[in-house]
Amino acid sequence: MKKSIFYHAGCPVCISAEHDIVNLIGLENVEIIHLGNDKSKIEDAEKAGVKSVPALVTPNGNVLHINFGASMEDVKG
């Protein structure tokens, strides 16, 4: 099974959401990408449809925007 991808930028909202996602679906089922530390993944996130972080991209391509931590423009800056 393909993993979900959880994108975040390291803010407190993102870290809290990361912990909840891992507790809900398990670390083995999700790839965690910290866009603040790995800016090379920003383009992938945008192509997947991520508009703000934290966001979870499901294996079938749905983007679940969770709470609001930062826009992608803020992440790029």
Look at strands 52-57 and 4-8 and give their pairing.
antiparallel
3-class DSSP state of 2 = coil
Structural domain boundaries in the chain? 4-65
CB 58 within 8 A of CB 31: no
pLDDT of residue 77: 78
Which residue shows structure tokens 């975040």? 8
Examine the pLDDT at 20 and tell me if it is beyond 90: yes
**Predicted confidence (pLDDT) per residue in 42-71, tens digit:** 999 999 999 999 999 999 999 999 887 778
pLDDT of residue 24: 95
What percentage of the chain has pLDDT greater than the value 70? Answer: 99
Q: In the chain, what is the straight-line distance between the N-terminal and C-terminal CA atoms, in Å?
A: 34
Examine the pLDDT at 1 and tell me if it is beyond 70: no
The residue that leads in pLDDT, 44 or 2, is 44
